[in-house]
Chain A
Amino acid sequence: MTTPPAIEVQDLSLVYGQGQTAVRAVDAVSMAVRRGEMLALMGPSGSGKTTLLMVMGCLLRPSAGRVALLGRDLAQLSPAAMAAQRLAHVGFVFQSYNLFPALTARETLRMTLRLKGWEAPAAEAEAVRLLDLVGLGDRLDSVPAKLSGGQKQRVAIARAVAGGPEVVLGDEPTAALDWKTGSGIVAMLRDLARQGDRAVVLVTHDPRVADLADRVIHMADGRLVEATP
C-alpha cells in the first residue's frame, strides 16, 4: 500500500447559509496535496480559496464530498475531534500574523509546544531550535511589537511547524510584506515543505509567489479551473 496524500478532497462542496441566501463557496472540488510539496492556490476574490483552505485545515465541515487528512476521513468528526486533528497535524500561517501581543517569540513557541503535550524542558529547547531555524536566534525574547513584519511572520512560521505537523496552510501569508521579505518567507516555507516532508498550501494573489511553488491550482466560482503539473 502506498502512503496516502497529506490532503485529499473528492467532490467537495461547501455551502454557507441556507435557502435563498445560500452561497456555494466550494463546488465539487477534487484534488490532493502530497507531503514534501508546496502548492499555491490562486483565484479572484470570492472564488472560495479561503473556504477550501479551511475545509482542508479541519476548521469547516464539508457540506458534501470527502476530505481526508493523512488518509483519515474528517467529514464525520465532532468539533472537539476536529480541534484535536488540527492540533496534531495542521499548522496555520495568517496574513496578519495573529501572534499573541503579550508573549515573546520564545514564549509563543513554548506555549504552542506545551499545548501539543511537550514537557517544559523539551519545549524550551525546541522553541530555541525552531526560532534559530527561522533566523530569529537573536530575537528570542522580543514581543511582536518589537519585531518587523517579516520577523513576525517568521515567528508565525516557527509556530506553525512547531511539534512537526504534516500540513501547513497559509492564507496570503505575504500579502502584508514587501516582495523582498515576502519571497524570503515563501522560500522558507518551501524549504520546510521539502526538508520536513510536509504539505504546504498557500493561498495567494501574487503570481511571483506562485512561481516559487511546486504546483499552482486556480479557482473560480468555487471550482478548479486548471492545474499546472
Chain B
Amino acid sequence: MTAVLPPAVLLAWRNLAYDRSRFVVTMVGIVFSVVLVAVQTGLFFGFTATTTIIIEHSGADLWVALSGLRNFEIAMPQKERHRNIVMGIPGVARAEALEVFFSAWRKPTGGNESVLVVGFDPDSGLAGPWNLVEGDAADLRLPDTVVVDVISKAKLGVARVGDQAEINGRRARVVGFTQGIRSFTASPYVFATFANAINYGNLNDRQANYIIARLADGARPEDVKQAIRERMPDVDVLTKAEFAEMTKTYWMFTTGAGTAILMSAGLGIAVGMVIVAQVLYATTVDHLTEFGTLRAMGAPQGFILRIIFWQAAITAVAGHLIGILIAMAIAHASQYGTALIIVPPDLAAALFFVTFAMCATASLVSIRKALTIDPAMVFQR
C-alpha cells in the first residue's frame, strides 16, 4: 500500500505514526475542537430552525400582524375583521385568524408551567399540529382539548392521550401528541382550535394576534403585500421567508443567544489551532536532523514543505472525520432532548475546510522553522 504513496506523504504519515502518544494527543485536541465547533454550530442551526418551526410548517404565505412585530412569540392583538379585509384582496386564496399567546399550564400533579398556546382554525389547514404520533388531531374540535409534543410530556406532567391539565384554570384534555415540535423558548407549544384558545386566554373573539393567508396560484406575494398595506396602514405584512428571518434574527442576535453560541464555536477553532500548531511544531523540531539530512541528500526545499503540509493534512482529515462522527452521534441523540443539534452534510463539509485551514495555519510556524534549515548542519556536530 505504502509503495504507491508519494515520498513526502509516506514520510509525513510515518513521522506522525512514529510518535504514537503525541499523535494521540494531537487527535484528541483536534477532535475536541471539531466536536466543539460542530456541536456549537449545530446548536446554532438547531436553535435557528426551532425558532421558526411553526412559521415554516404553517402553510401560510403571508403573515399580517399589528405593526411593531419583532418575533413569532409576541404579537399584539389586532381586529379579527382584518381577516375579511385580507380575504377581499385579489390573489388571496384563504385568510385565517391565529392566536399565539403565553399562558399558565397547571400540571395534573400540581405546579405551573408557562406554555405558548397556538390557536388555529381547524377548517383552514393552516398552522395546525403535524406529525402526530399518538391520538387524533380531529378530536381538537371537541371543547377543552389540546395537542402537545412528546418532548414536553414530562415538563407538562402528561403521559398519554386522555390526560388532563388546566390552562388558566380551564380544563385541557390531551387528545394527541406530536413529535419534533420543539419550542425555542422555555415554554412548550400547546395546539388548540381558535375557539378553544379564545376560551383559554379569556380573549375577545373579535381580536386575533395574526391573520395568516395562503395565496392563490400565480399571485405575487409582493403585490398582495402592497395591496394589504394600502388597505391597512397600521399592520406589518411579511412573507413566510421574511417572518422566519425576522424571528431568527431576533432570537439569535438581538437577544445575543446566537452570538454567544457562535463565539464558543470560534473559541473551539482557536483552541484547536493552538494545539495543532504546538504539536506540528514539536514534530518538526524533532525531525529537524532528518530534514537536514534530506536537504543534504539534495531534496528540494519544496519537498520538506510538502512533508509538513501532509503532516497537517493527515492530521486535519483524521481529526475531522473522527470529530464529525462524534458530533453526528451527539446530533442524533439530541433529537430526543430539549435542545436540537443539527449537523447537516453542508456543515460537515464546511467544517472540513475550517479544520483544514486551521491545520494549515498551524503549520506555518513549522514551515518558518523548516525554511531555516541549512543542509551543512548535519556535518557540524
Is residue B296 within 8 Å, beta carbon to beta carbon, of the partner chain?
yes
A60 CB-CB contact with B under 8 Å: yes
User: In chain B between 356 and 381, which residues have their CB closer than 8 angstroms to a CB of chain A?
Assistant: 375-376, 378-381
**Which residue from B7, B17, B301 sits with its C-beta under 8 Å from A114?**
B7
Would you list which residues of chain B between 1 and 40 have a CB under 8 Å from chain A? 2-4, 6-7, 10-11, 14-15, 17-18
User: Chain B residue with minimal CB distance to A162?
Assistant: B297
Report whether A98 and B293 are in contact in the complex, using a CB–CB cutoff of 8 Å: yes
B205 CB–A CB distance under 8 Å: no
The answer to whether A86 and B296 touch across the interface, beta carbons within 8 angstroms, is yes
Q: Give chain B nearest CB distance to A157 CB in angstroms.
A: 13
B289 proximal to A (CB < 8 A): yes
Complexed CA–CA distance, A120 and B375 (Å): 26
Question: Do residues A85 and B298 form an inter-chain contact, with CB atoms below 8 A?
Answer: yes
Interface size for chain B: under 10, 10 to 19, 20 to 34, or 35 or more residues? 20 to 34
Answer whether A83 and B295 are a contact pair too, CB < 8 Å, given A100-B290, A102-B17. yes
Within 8 A of A (CB), among B271-303: 289-290, 293-301, 303
Measured in the bound complex, the distance between the Cα atoms of B297 and A90 in whole Å is 8
Contact B299 A83 (CB under 8 A): yes
Which residues from chain B contact A124 at a C-beta distance below 8 Å?
A: 3
B2 near A107: Cβ-Cβ < 8 Å: yes
Is A80 in contact with B301, judged by CB distance below 8 angstroms? yes
Residue on A with the closest CB to B380?
A: A50
What is the distance, in angstroms, from B6's C-beta to the closest C-beta of chain A? Answer: 7
Known interface pairs A59-B296, A83-B295, A102-B14; A53-B303 also in contact (CB < 8 Å): no
- Cβ contacts under 8 Å, B375 to chain A: 59, 83
A114 to B303, CA, bound (A): 12
Residue of A nearest to B289 (CB): A98
Asked whether, in the complex, the Cβ of A94 is within 8 Å of the Cβ of B378, the reply is yes
Contacts between the two chains (Cβ within 8 Å), count: 80
The CA of A83 and the CA of B289, in the complex, are separated in Å by: 17
Interface contact A103-B11, CB-CB below 8 Å:
yes
Could you say which residues of chain B place their CB within 8 Å of the CB of A57?
296
Contact with B along A46-59 (1 / 0, CB 8 A): 00001001100101
Docked complex: A86-107 residues within 8 A CB-CB of B: 86-88, 90-92, 94-96, 98, 100-103, 107
CB contact under 8 A between A171 and B379, given known A83-B299, A102-B11, A111-B11 = yes
Nearest to B302 among chain A residues (CB) is: A80
Report the bound CA distance from A83 to B299 in whole Å.
7
Return B347 CB to nearest CB of chain A, in Å.
35
Which of B18, B289, B298, B379 is in CB contact (< 8 Å) with A86? B298
A84 within 8 A of B: yes
B378 to chain A, nearest CB (A): 6
Which of B14, B295, B299 meets A103, CB within 8 Å?
A: B14
**Contact at B298–A84, with CB atoms within 8 Å?**
yes
**Which of A92, A102, A120 is in CB contact (< 8 Å) with B296?**
A92
Most buried by A among B4, B303, B378, B379: B379
| Contact flag A115-B297 (CB < 8 Å), given A53-B379, A102-B15, A120-B3 | yes
Let me know if A174 is at the binding interface, CB within 8 A: no
Asked whether, in the complex, the Cβ of B299 is within 8 Å of the Cβ of A115, the reply is yes
What residues of chain A lie closer than 8 Å to B301, measured between beta carbons?
Answer: 80, 83
Interchain nearest-CB distance for A48 vs B (Å): 12
The reply to whether A86 and B378 form a contact with Cβ atoms under 8 Å apart is no
* Contact A80 B379, CB 8 Å, known A100-B290, A107-B2, A111-B7: no
**What distance in Å separates the Cβ of A14 from its nearest Cβ neighbour in chain B?**
11
Q: Cβ of B298 and Cβ of A88 under 8 Å apart?
A: yes
Contact between chains at B379 and A50 (CB < 8 Å)? yes
B297 touches A92 (CB 8 A): yes
Residues of A within 8 A of B4 (CB): 120
> A110 at interface (Cβ–Cβ under 8 A)?
yes
* Residue from the set A50, A54, A80, A98 with the largest chain B CB neighbour count within 10 Å: A98
- Chain B 49-79: CB-based contact to A (< 8 A → 1; otherwise 0): 0000000000000000000000000000000
A112 at the interface (CB under 8 A from B): yes
Known: A107-B2, A111-B11. A87 touches B298 (CB 8 A): yes
Min C-beta distance of B207 to chain A, whole Å = 76
- The B226-246 residues at the A interface (CB cut-off 8 A) are none
Answer whether A112 and B297 are a contact pair too, CB < 8 Å, given A59-B375, A120-B3, A120-B4. Answer: yes
Q: Which residues of A contact B289 (CB under 8 A)?
A: 98
What is the CA–CA distance of A121 and B378 in the complex, to the nearest angstrom?
31
How far apart are the CA atoms of A115 and B304 in the complex, in Å?
Answer: 11
A-side contacts of B290, CB under 8 Å? 98, 100-101
C-alpha spacing A115/B381, complex, angstroms:
26
Listed in ascending order, the chain A residues whose CB lies under 8 Å from chain B are: 50, 53-54, 57, 59-60, 80, 83-88, 90-92, 94-96, 98, 100-103, 107, 110-112, 114-115, 120-121, 124, 159, 171
13 A–B contacts, CB within 8 A, in A order: A50-B379, A60-B376, A83-B295, A87-B299, A94-B293, A94-B378, A100-B14, A102-B17, A107-B10, A110-B7, A112-B297, A115-B303, A120-B4
